[in-house]
Structure formats: C-alpha cells, structure tokens
C-alpha cells in the first residue's frame, strides 16, 4: 500500500541538485540510466542511493510541470518535487551532546540519572540528565531540539568533561548541506521526517521533566497551571492542586503524597526496622561516588601538607544567653536560631584583624592571596557524603541573614541540589562536629585554604575560680588546623584569642559589627 505526498512547485529544476532516492527513480520518460552523473556510494545500504543531478534540462527529461515521482522501496511515501521543493524538506544530522565544563577544575562527573529515553523528543534547553561532580549536582540541558538517537552511558558511569553523553537527531536543513553527510542510522529511520510535526508542549514554562510527566499523566495542559516556585517555576504540588481544582483527583490523594524527605528515604532502600535482620558475612565491594570520591582526592592531597593544630577551650555562657534572647524575641517564627550563625559572624570579625587566616597559598609561585571576602565554608554530612558549601561575604551579612543562608544551604545539601556556586570560592572552613556529638576533632585542610576549625559540642562542666569556688560553665573545645607553610603558631594563637574574646563577650559583636 503506497500513500502519496505531493509538492507542486512552480519553478523549474535547478542545476547541481543532490537528492536522496532509492534505486527505482520514475519520471516522464526518465529512468536511472538516463540521469546524468549518477553517484551511488557503496557505503549506503540498499535500496538507498545518492543521485547527483547536475541538470534536468536535457531532451527526454522534460515534463509539463517539471514534476518527478520517486517510489521508495520499503517506505510508504511517494514524493513529487522539484529542486526548489527541497528547501521545505527536513534533513537530519547527528549531533553529539557532550558533558560541558561544570566548574573550575572539574575533570569528570558521575551520571546520576537520565531524564530522557532513546527515541524521545527533546526541546532546546530541556534537562536531559543529572550529573554529580566533586563539588555539586548539576542538570545538563540540551542545546538542540531533536530526537534522542542513542544514550552512551548508564547511571553510575563516570564521564569525563568533553565526552559525548548522547547522540541527537536534529532537523536542520541548510542551504548547501550535502546529503552525503547523512549516516546509515538516519537512512534506516525515514519515519523521522514527520516527527517534527509533533506539537511541542510546555515551551517557555519552567518545570522539571518529572513535573511535566505528572501533568501529562493527568492530561493537564501545563501552560494552564500557575507556578508557585522561584521565577514562576511549576512544582509538583501545583499540578496536584490544579488536578484537585478541576476534579481530576480527590484532595485526600494529594495530602497522602510522600514528602521529598520520605522519597529520599525510600530511594535509599533502607530496611524496615521491624524486618528481620539478616547478617551477611560475605565481602562486598562498594564503588565510591560523588562527594565521597571527591573526599578521597582532596584528603589525599591535604595529607601531604604540614599541619599545625591549636586547641583551646571557650566559655560560651554569654553566647547561650544571646541565642535564647534571639529565639524569644524573633519576629519570624519560621526562623530557628542556633549557635552556629553567631560563631560564623564572630569568626569573620576576628579574621578582619588577622587577614592571613583568610587566604590561600599557591605553592608553585610561592604566593599567598589575601581574600577580600569572608566566604566561610560549613562542613555538612549528607546521605551522599560530606560536602562543604560556603556562605559568601559574611563580613557584610547580619546574624539573621547568615541564619537564613545557612538554612538554605543545609536544605539544598540534604536534597543533593547544591549548585557549583554554593560549593566554590570558600576561604576558611568550619566543621561543627559538636552537632553530631563529638567533643574534639583534628581536621585536615580544605585546600587551597590555609585554616580549618573543628568545634566540639557545648557542654556544662565545673569551673574553679581563683578563690577556689566551683561554678558550672558552658565550655566548647575548638581545634584550629593550619597550613604551617603559611601560618605560624603565634599568628594562630593571636587569631584564636581574638575569636575567643568575641564569643565570651558577645556584647562586643554589637560594638564592632559593621
């Protein structure tokens, strides 16, 4: 059964046309043997051949309307066209979509998951996959509109920057583009010609592929949904609420949807506490990925640097009272005040007096760069490993602003959504081991920084005055790890004393705060 698609141009055939036809070419009193300069590359599979036709203007090849008919064996299409009609016919070519540079110094990433499948249509700037570098998790978007031809990696693979992630079939007919550039893969799928007629949905709408799939599941036009996310981004809850409003689903079903934290736990496939524990005595190899892989590299390098550690105990009674005062008098109930923002702000004020602590060292040029901004990194334990996002320009932020930024970074870290900006540019690191329960730690540097501080938990311990009286005090033990190539013991000691003075006398924070 042969169907027909007809194109009737008004102009005559032009010279130098290059057409893709099967072996059987039919026309008014014309055959393949009559066509001049026929080129049939052997690399193309039967029944396809590339015919270069310099001219159709010769005796025996004329037709009243310059129309020729091609019957393509194995394809249910018959086309009638002239050379001018080629301008409207799509030509497909394969483009490689590589892993772009995701950040300074990043050489490879782990592929976490695909958002697309082979044979699926892809819009320009649509997320196609999610990768994790040594520093952050990033969504890779497509630069082209087309159809996925082949996925070259599977989740869990390590992909080097610049390597091809997938191959995309792109409809891009350009004047002068030779048909010989087509591959066998293109020719084996002629049905792709009509795929571009599909209507694209959700163009210009900010949403993730999962949200668009949810809208498609409920037969909802995503353009009709009002987004409540950042910059109008449509969230999963927006789709569900719209479905309730239209009577597609019941409200009870929406309320029973799992939260992101519940989904995170489920995705880890942790055993139920009530399930029977089965002990396994077999060895098991675990491939380190993501943040753990980054920690292997960074700590191996850091261990080669000569460290100097300085330990001190700090009385935090005044800090405890100030934190309680903040919580009692807060005008934002959703904001939870903790000790850490106060420690971060006081640390920044101490670094202003000792800028050498807020620096980085280049061992090749023997240069120390004193950083202008206090970008204080906070070590965070996540389900995916240890990560150190940093709060930018702490010297210019209030305690409340630091509290909100810290909360944002903690939320993104737990959801594995930190951006490269969040984890780059740090100038000093705080490791709050006290939040887990430790009293003392000996941290390794987060290069190229020259200082890192481990803070133990604040604990009530008995203290003795010079008169012999005993009283309870809230004591925190800190351990400052320093690059001994840059910082000497005297500098670290003076810096620690300045920081200790602000913590033990929090009123000075107000006096010196800018």
Q: Which of 242, 434, 237 is nearest to 338 (CA)?
A: 434
Q: Which of 123, 125, 164, 161 is nearest to 141 (CA)?
A: 125
194, 237, 488, 507: the active-site residue? 488
Q: Are strands 92-98 and 164-171 parallel, antiparallel or unpaired?
A: antiparallel
Helix, strand, or coil here: 128?
strand
Cβ pair 410, 464 in contact under 8 A: no
Prior bond to 448 cis, omega within 30?
yes
Helix, strand, or coil here: 371?
coil
Q: Is the dihedral of CA 213, 272, 410, 444 positive or negative?
A: negative
**What is the phi/psi pair of residue 322, to 5°?**
-65, -40
Catalytic site includes residue 484: yes
Cα–Cα distance, 149 to 165 (Å, whole number) = 11
Q: CA-based Rg of the chain, rounded to a whole angstrom?
A: 33
Cβ pair 373, 427 in contact under 8 A: yes
Cβ pair 122, 145 in contact under 8 A: yes
Q: Which positions are annotated as active-site residues?
A: 484, 488
């Amino acid at each position: 059964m042969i169907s027909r698609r007809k194109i009737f141009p008004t102009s005559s055939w032009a010279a130098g046309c290059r057409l893709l036809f099967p072996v059987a070419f039919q026309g008014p009193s014309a055959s393949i043997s009559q066509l001049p300069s026929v080129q049939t590359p052997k690399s193309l599979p039967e029944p396809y051949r590339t015919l270069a036709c310099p001219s159709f203007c010769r005796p025996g090849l004329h037709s009243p309307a310059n129309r020729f008919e091609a019957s393509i064996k194995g394809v249910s299409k018959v086309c009638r066209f002239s050379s001018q009609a080629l301008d409207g016919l799509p030509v497909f070519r394969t483009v490689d979509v590589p892993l772009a540079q995701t950040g300074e110094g990043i050489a490879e990433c782990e592929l976490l998951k695909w958002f697309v499948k082979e044979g699926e249509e892809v819009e320009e700037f649509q997320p196609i996959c999610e990768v994790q570098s040594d520093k952050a998790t990033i969504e890779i978007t497509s630069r082209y509109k087309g159809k996925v031809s082949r996925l070259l990696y599977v989740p869990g693979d390590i992909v080097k920057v610049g390597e091809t992630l997938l191959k995309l079939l792109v409809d891009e007919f350009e004047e002068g583009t030779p048909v010989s550039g087509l591959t066998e893969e293109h020719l084996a799928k002629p049905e792709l010609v009509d795929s571009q007629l599909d209507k694209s949905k959700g163009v210009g709408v900010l949403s993730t592929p999962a949200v668009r799939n949810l809208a498609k599941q409920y037969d909802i036009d995503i353009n009709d949904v009002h987004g409540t996310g950042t910059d109008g981004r449509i969230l999963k809850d927006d789709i569900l609420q719209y479905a309730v409003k239209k009577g597609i689903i019941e409200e009870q079903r929406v309320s029973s949807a799992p939260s992101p934290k519940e989904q995170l736990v489920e995705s880890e496939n942790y055993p139920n506490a009530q399930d029977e524990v089965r002990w396994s005595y077999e060895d098991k190899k675990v491939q380190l990925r993501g943040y753990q892989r980054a920690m292997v590299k960074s700590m191996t390098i850091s261990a080669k640097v000569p460290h100097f550690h300085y330990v001190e105990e700090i009385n935090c009674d005044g800090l405890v009272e100030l934190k309680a005062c903040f919580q009692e008098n807060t005008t934002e109930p959703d904001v939870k005040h903790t000790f850490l923002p106060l420690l971060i702000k006081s640390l920044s004020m101490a670094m202003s007096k000792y800028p050498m602590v807020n620096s980085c060292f280049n061992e090749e040029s023997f240069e120390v760069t004193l950083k202008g901004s206090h970008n204080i990194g906070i070590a965070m334990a996540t389900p995916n490993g240890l990560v150190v996002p940093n709060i930018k320009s702490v010297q210019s932020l209030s305690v409340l602003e630091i509290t909100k930024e810290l909360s944002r970074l903690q939320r993104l870290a737990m959801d594995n959504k930190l951006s490269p900006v969040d984890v780059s540019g740090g100038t000093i690191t705080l490791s709050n081991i006290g939040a887990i329960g430790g009293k003392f730690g000996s941290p390794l540097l987060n290069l190229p920084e020259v200082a890192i501080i481990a803070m133990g938990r604040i604990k009530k311990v008995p203290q003795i005055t010079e008169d012999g009286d005993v009283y309870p005090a809230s004591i925190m033990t800190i351990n400052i790890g320093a690059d001994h190539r840059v910082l000497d013991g005297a500098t670290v000691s003076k810096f620690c004393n300045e920081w200790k003075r602000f913590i033990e006398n929090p009123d000075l924070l107000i006096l010196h705060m800018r």
